[in-house]
Amino acid sequence: MSPSPTRRTTLQAAGAAVAGAYVTGLAGSSAHATASAEEEPVDRVVVHPALPSVPANNSFTVKVRPAGGNWQTLSVHLARLPLIDPASGSNRAQNSSVAAFDFSGTVEVEVTYNPGGFEKVRVRPDSYGITPEVLGSTTRFTLDRPRNVVVQVDDKIFDCLHLLAGPIEQNPPAEGDRNVMYFGPGLHTHPDRTLTVPSNTTVYLAAGAVLTSNVIFEGVENSRLVGRGVIYNATGGAIYVHDSQNVEVENVTVLNPRYNSITVAESENVTIRGMRSFSHLGWGDGIDIFCSENVTIDGVFMRNSDDCIAIYTHRWDYYGDTRNITVKNSTLWADVAHPINIGTHGNPDPDNPEVLENLNFTNIDILDHREPQMLYQGCIAINPGDGNLVRNVKVDGMRVEDFRWGQLIHMRVTFNPKWNTSAGRGIEDIYIKDLTYAGTHADTSLLIGYDADHLIKDITFENLVINGRVIRDSGGKPNWYLASDGVPMFANDHVHNLRFLTTEEAAAQ
C-alpha cells in the first residue's frame, strides 16, 4: 500500500531525531575514515576473494600492484550482456568479463588478452585520458584514483574487461556488531530468496560474498546495504526500497538480476553510491525511481539490458511527484534502450496529475546506447506521458562517446498506447550545459511537442559540442541554416524558445 502524505510527514517528523543521530554517526565515521586513510601507506592494493558460484571467464588475465610493488592476480568473472536482434527481437546473451579490487595511492594494472594478440586497446571512458602501453597480448596502464574502467581490445563490445577499482574500505562492520546483518566471503542463499531489512540496520556484504536474495527495504528508516560483495541471480529486482527514508546503498555489485538492479519507490532521502550493475535479461533496468524525493546517485557504473537510469512518477501502486533527483560522477552503458529516461509513466487521472522536477545530472560519461526502436531512443530521453509534466532539468558536464544505434537527445511529449492512457502535459525549463558528442552513429535528435496545449518550451543548450564544433544560434553557420541542423536535431512547431548558446553568451545574459 502506498503511503499517504500524512504517513510520509509523520515518518519524516518522527524519524528526525533518530535520523539526525544516525547521520551524525555516519559523518563521524566518515571523518574518522578520512583520518585513517591519511595514515595509511600511499600505495596499497586489496585484492578481492573469488566469487563462489559465479562462473569465471578466462578471456583476460589481470594483475595489479602498488607502483613498483609485487604483482597480484585478480579473479575474473563472467558477466552476461544482451545483444538484441532487430529483425526478430530475440536477445542473444553475450559473455563478458568483470574483475574488482580496491586501492589507494597509485596502482599499476596489467591486462593480458588470452585469445592472442590485438592491434589496439582502449581504456574507457575516454575522458579519463588513459593511454595504455601495449606489449604483444598484454597492455599496461596506471590508475591514480579509484575508477571503473572498460578495457577493450580491437573495439570488441562484449569480449571486454570491466575493471572495478574502488577505494579501500575504512572501518567496515564486523561480524557480531550490533544492528549489522553480516555476510562474509562465501555463498549466501535464503530459502525464499528474500532478505528483509529492518530499520536502523546495516547489511554488510564483504568482498567475496555472494548473496542470491533480493534485498528489501520496506517501510523502514536509517538502513544501509554496503560492502564489496555481489548480489547474484536475484529472482526479481535485486534491491527494493519502498515507503522508506534515509536509506543508503553503497559499493555493492549486482550481477545477472532477473529484472532491474534497484527500485526506489515512494521514498525520501535515498543515496546510491558506488554501485555497479550488469544485466542481460529483458527489463533489466539499472536504477528505477518512482514517486520519490531527494535521491542521490553518485559514482555508479551501470551496463544494462534496459534503461540505465529511469525516473518516473505513478506506476502500479505508486503515487506522487518525483523531485530533487541528482545523478553525478557516473558511467552509463545501455546495451538496450536509454542511458537516461525520464517521464514515461505517470498518473492519467486529470484531477491528480504528477510532476517530475529538479532533476540534475553532473559529470556523466555515456559509453554506449543501442536501441533499434525509434520510440525508445535517446541517450537523454525525456518522454512524459500520462499527464506528467517534466520541468527544471539541468545537465552540467556530460560526455557521450560514439554509440552503436540511437539518438543523442530525444524529447517528446508522448501518448504511447503501449504504456500510456493519456498524453503528457509538457516539458519545460531544460538547461543542458557542456554536453559533448564525438562520433558518427547518432541519428537525428528529436524534440516533438504533442500539440499547442502540450508543449516543449524553454530549452537551452550551452556549449553543446558535436565532433569539436560548438552549436550556436549566432555565427558558425550559414545564416539560412538552423543551429539545430549542426547536431542534427529536428524540432517541430510545438517546441518554443529553443536556444543554443556559447559559454560566453550564456555568461553575458
Strands (E), 233-354: 239-242, 245-250, 253-255, 262-265, 268-273, 276-278, 287-290, 293-298, 301-304, 309-312, 322-334, 340-342
In the predicted model, what is the mean pLDDT of residues 409-436? 97
Q: Of all residues in the chain, what percent are helix, strand and coil, respectively (each to 5)?
A: 10, 50, 40
Q: What is the pLDDT of residues 113-144, one digit of tens each?
A: 999 888 999 999 999 999 999 999 999 999 99
Q: Contact at 8 Å (CB) between 424 and 450?
A: yes
Angle between helices 5-14 and 16-39 (to 10 degrees): 60
Positive or negative torsion for Cα 182, 185, 190, 193: positive
Is the pLDDT score of 233 beyond 50?
yes
Domain ranges of the chain: 44-167, 306-509
Phi, psi of 367 (to 5 degrees): -90, -30
What span, in angstroms and rounded, lies between the C-alpha atoms of 160 and 60? 8
Q: Which residue is associated with the grid cell 536475484?
A: 234
What span, in angstroms and rounded, lies between the C-alpha atoms of 116 and 136? 8
Q: Write down the pLDDT at residue 266.
A: 98
Q: Which 8-state DSSP code applies to residue 127?
A: G
Q: What percentage of the chain reaches a pLDDT higher than 90?
A: 89
In the predicted model, what is the mean pLDDT of residues 290-307? 98
Q: Write down the pLDDT at residue 14.
A: 34
What span, in angstroms and rounded, lies between the C-alpha atoms of 439 and 462? 20
What span, in angstroms and rounded, lies between the C-alpha atoms of 29 and 398? 32
- Residue of 432, 390, 392 whose CA lies nearest to 412: 390
Q: Which residue is associated with the grid cell 517530475?
A: 356
Q: Write down the pLDDT at residue 20.
A: 34
Is the pLDDT score of 51 beyond 50?
yes
ω into 185 cis (within 30 of 0): no
Burial of 7 (0-12, 13-18, 19+ CB in 10 A): middle
Q: Which 8-state DSSP code applies to residue 74?
A: P
Q: Write down the pLDDT at residue 24.
A: 31
DSSP line for 148-212? EEEEEETT-SSS-EEEEEEEPP-S---TT-TTEEEE-SEEE--TTSEEEPPTT-EEEE-TTEEE-
Average pLDDT, the chain: 92
Is the pLDDT score of 216 beyond 80?
yes
CATH fold of 44-167, please? Answer: Dex49a from penicillium minioluteum complex, domain 1 (2.60.350)
Phi, psi of 72 (to 5 degrees): -125, 140
Q: Write down the pLDDT at residue 15.
A: 34
Confidence of residue 290 (pLDDT cuts 50, 70, 90): very high
What span, in angstroms and rounded, lies between the C-alpha atoms of 334 and 338? 6
In the predicted model, what is the mean pLDDT of residues 41-65? 95
Is the pLDDT score of 328 beyond 90?
yes
Residue 93 in grid coordinates: 546473451
Residue 460 in grid coordinates: 537551452
Confidence of residue 8 (pLDDT cuts 50, 70, 90): very low
What span, in angstroms and rounded, lies between the C-alpha atoms of 226 and 10? 27
Question: What distances in angstroms separate CA 336 from CA 70, 149, 163, 263, one per listed residue?
Answer: 40, 20, 21, 18
What span, in angstroms and rounded, lies between the C-alpha atoms of 136 and 60? 14
Q: Which residue is associated with the grid cell 552509463?
A: 332
- AA identity, residue 379: C
Neighbours of 112 (CB within 10 A): 15
Burial 339-360 (b: 16+ CB within 10 A, else e): bbbbbbbbbbeeeebbbbbbbe
In the predicted model, what is the mean pLDDT of residues 151-162? 97
Q: What is the pLDDT of residues 439-482, one digit of tens each?
A: 999 999 999 999 999 999 999 999 999 999 999 999 889 999 99
Judged by average pLDDT, the poorest of 7-21, 38-52, 87-101, 413-427 is 7-21
Q: Contact at 8 Å (CB) between 218 and 196?
A: yes
Burial 185-198 (b: 16+ CB within 10 A, else e): beebeeeeeebebe
Q: Which residues pair with 248 in a beta bridge?
A: 224, 271
Residue 403 in grid coordinates: 554509440
Q: What is the pLDDT of residues 363-406, one digit of tens each?
A: 999 999 999 999 999 999 999 999 999 999 999 999 999 999 99
Q: What is the pLDDT of residues 19-47, one digit of tens each?
A: 333 333 333 333 333 334 455 558 999 99
In the predicted model, what is the mean pLDDT of residues 41-60? 95
Vertex 327, ends 321 and 331: CA angle to 5°? 140
Q: Which residue is associated with the grid cell 526500497?
A: 241
282: Cβ–Cβ under 8 A, 6 or more apart, which residues?
91, 305, 306
Q: Contact at 8 Å (CB) between 160 and 182?
A: no
Is the pLDDT score of 353 beyond 60?
yes
- Residue of 321, 317, 276 whose CA lies nearest to 294: 321
